[in-house]
Amino acid sequence: MPEQQLYLQRDQPDGVPPLALTGERTLPDVPEENYWYRRHLAVYEWIGARVLGRRVIDMACGEGYGSEVLSRGAASVVGVDANPEAHDHARLRYARQNLRFERDLVDRFAEPCDAVVFLQTIEHVPAPGATLDHFRSLLEPGGVAYVSTPNLLTLAPPGAEKSENPWHVREYRAEEFRELCLAHFASVELLGLFHARKLRAHAVALQLGWDRVHAALRMTKPFYGRFTPAISARDFALRPGPLDRALDFLAVCRA
């Protein structure tokens, strides 16, 4: 079996150790990972515009880039992650007066807040109901939990009950995810994340046979070597549906 290529973050600030791309979490500053990083960043930016002046907990914050985005307008943000390398990296890289990082389990960390953010992680959790109950217990009156997860129907092969991602315990269809969240919150608004702008144009090109063209012209590697790093968060859009075709789901949950 060929050895898997190791990707490390590039151009980190002095004193900040780069993280390796393992597939468990996405990272900025890895050109080959840019599609997934921007896909997650688009949701963080959407939430960031809705937590202005609020106290926020970013659960399973990973590298910390999302916590930093939220802290641009929030009153305070706590990024929580149990991984020691990710925690050390985040606290060294992202310094802001209203932002701190705590190394802890998401089911154990407890602090009153106005919003809990839990993105692309509930599919990793063996007991998601207990996790959602814990988040609800942290919210002050009027608080909101933002929970996202990939769409099984667009992530896994047709007919499969799970993708090949070894870190995922369970993946959800739209109604399954809505029902999970409604079992623990009084109201749930479910949105889908979709390709937009140049990613939408790329999807149309694929439908018209672009895969055959770039392969025949032997330009696959140079094309995607330029195209992938150029993807931005604006190449994704959150909207109500059609959810079966969404890339990811975002549940906006109110107690």
Q: What is the per-residue pLDDT across 242-251, written as a single tens digit (0 to 9) for each?
A: 999 999 999 9
- Written as one letter, the residue type at 55 is R
Task: State the helix-helix crossing angle for 197-207 and 220-230, rounded to 10 degrees.
Answer: 150
pLDDT (tens digit, 9 = 90+) per residue, 118-139? 999 999 999 999 999 999 999 9
Cα 234 from chain centroid (whole Å): 15
- Looking at residue 64, the DSSP 8-state letter turns out to be S
Residue 194 reports pLDDT greater than 80: yes
Over range 187-192, report the average pLDDT: 98
3-state SS, residue 194: strand
Residue 2 reports pLDDT greater than 60: no
Q: List Cβ neighbours of 149 (8 Å cut-off, separation of 6 or more).
A: 120, 122, 123, 171, 172, 177, 248, 249
Tell me the pLDDT band of 202, cut-offs 50, 70 and 90. confident
Does domain 31-195+237-254 match CATH 3.40.50.150? yes
Q: What is the pLDDT of residue 210?
A: 74
The rounded mean pLDDT for the chain is 93
How many CB atoms within 10 Å of residue 89? 23
Which of 75, 101, 74, 98 lies closest to 16 in space, CA to CA? Answer: 101
- CA–CA distance, 34 with 28 (Å, rounded to integer): 7
CA angle 245/246/251 to nearest 5° reads: 135
Cα 218 from chain centroid (whole Å): 33
- CA–CA distance, 135 with 119 (Å, rounded to integer): 13
Which comes out higher in pLDDT, residue 109 or 213?
Answer: 109
